[in-house]
Amino acid sequence: MTTESTAVPRFDIAQPEFWRRPLQDRMDDFAAMRAQGPFWDSEIPDTMGMLDGPVPFHAVTTYDEVVEISRKPKQFCSGQGAVAIPDMPAEALEFFGSFINMDDPRHARQRGIVSRAFTPRRLELVLDSVQHICDEVIDDFCEKGEVDLVEAMSAPFPLLVICDMMGIPRSEFKTVFDATNIILGGGDPEFVGDDVMGALFGAGMTLTGLLHEVAEDRRKNPKDDLTTALITADVDDEMMTPEELGPFFILLAVAGNDTTRTAISYAMQFLTENPEQRRIWQDDLEGVTPTAVEEIVRYASPVVFMRRTATEDVTLAGRDFSAGERFVMFYGAANRDPAHFENPEVFDVRRDPNPHVGFGGPGPHFCLGAHLARRELAVAWRQLLTRLPDLEAAGPPEYLEAAGIPLVGGIKRFPVRFTPTEKVGRA
């Protein structure tokens, strides 16, 4: 039996097989990497053909280093690619990542436009709509008794919130749903077929084209939605250009939905594996929900990684690095760092404090939608535990067949069963 100090990971982090296993198996390997030090040096194939050979990178597995890199955007930039480890053409970076793949001042400008569009009144309307949409989604399956949780709840719920917020017609929901499945699928052949890049760009073009149609309508017929707010401005304010609007919608439809989608599914697994934690939560829904939501995000860490690139020679944790070297921050590993979390491998719905980095580390790229994601998770599980109190797993979860290191490590299917209940009705 190996000890933590001598353990080595059983799989190569760069291989698809690493990511096609259960979450805990992956976290065990990350613990072995972390025991060797803050950085685990690796490389992946250059799928974009931008380099002559494999793409080297440093996997960042410790909490302190993830936080330090996040806090220093001038030394560790996002503009060379945050959501992909290999280099990509600048146009592709911004098409799929919007301002996530930007540095200041462009990052600050676009993020500022979005922040101004989220006025307190509009944000309150969105938060209020979460409850209604959650009831609507549960109504669609509560009488069945057995469903795929991902298909019935995890996937449609947060995406409906995003679509309603942007003013996307319900008639286009399936179009958005199918496109986001492709982008979030991690290269799973079920979603992308044999042509991964073709499928990704096709899905991106579909989302961009749809939002341009909506934006064109809003210029003529303004409504009280986020799309209208983004393309109109007060006298001294900027607004998004047509070229910026499409990539932002791709970001929102993907990043604005993936944390909640994946976290809802993983929460079902965690509660199944830890029935005593489920009882604690179910016995005190109002009191435990805030800490339970934070623990789900910590334990699942739905966003697998973000990349940063050194802009100058730097020293981290006593090790020297050169300008241009890639750092890939693995949030799940950081969120189970025993230096900052007591019993980090234990799922504890009352964990407090819980300074996780599940929404990114501190700094300018901290998740803009963290508040909404927390609200969605709280409402979803409060309603599931109330309306379907005996909800249970009917089989093991099926994980995405990732083709490499996925941006989001999700669950593809998860069969569940429950005693059928009546609909609550829709307002």
Question: Tens of pLDDT along 402-421?
Answer: 888 988 888 999 999 999 99
- CA pair distance 265, 23, nearest whole angstrom: 12
* pLDDT band at 239; cut points 50, 70, 90: confident
Q: Give tens-digit pLDDT for 242-256.
A: 888 988 888 888 777
pLDDT at 52: 65
Q: What is the pTM of this model?
A: 0.93
- CA pair distance 298, 349, nearest whole angstrom: 11
For residues 120-141, average pLDDT: 89
Q: Which two tokens stand for residue 272?
A: 């199944």
- CA pair distance 344, 300, nearest whole angstrom: 12
Answer yes or no: are the C-beta atoms of 405 and 398 closer than 8 Å. Answer: no
* pLDDT band at 3; cut points 50, 70, 90: very low
pLDDT at 36: 93
Residue closest to 23 by CA, chosen among 338, 332, 347:
332
- CA pair distance 80, 309, nearest whole angstrom: 7
- CA pair distance 218, 227, nearest whole angstrom: 7
Q: Give tens-digit pLDDT for 208-235.
A: 999 999 999 999 999 989 999 888 866 4
* pLDDT band at 93; cut points 50, 70, 90: confident
Burial of 248 (0-12, 13-18, 19+ CB in 10 A): buried
Q: Which two tokens stand for residue 312?
A: 């100058």
* Domain 26-417 of CATH type 3.30.310.10: no
> What ranges do the domains of the chain cover?
26-417
Please say if the pLDDT value at position 10 is more than 80: no
> Can you spell out the DSSP letters for 256-272?
HHHHHHHHHHHHHHHHH
Amino acid code (one letter) for 321: F
* pLDDT band at 50; cut points 50, 70, 90: low
Of 52-56, 231-235, 313-317, the poorest mean pLDDT is in 231-235
- Percentage of the chain modeled with pLDDT above 70: 95
- CA pair distance 347, 345, nearest whole angstrom: 7
More confident residue, 170 or 97: 170
CA atoms within 13 A of residue 2's CA, in its CB half-sphere: 12
For residues 387-415, average pLDDT: 92
For the chain, the residue count is 427
Mean pLDDT over each residue of the chain, to the nearest integer: 90
Handedness of CA 257, 262, 264, 265 (dihedral sign): positive
- CA pair distance 264, 153, nearest whole angstrom: 8
pLDDT at 4: 45
Please say if the pLDDT value at position 2 is more than 50: no
Q: CB atoms < 10 A from the CB of 174, how many? A: 10
CA distances from 344 to 35, 298, 301 (A): 14, 9, 13
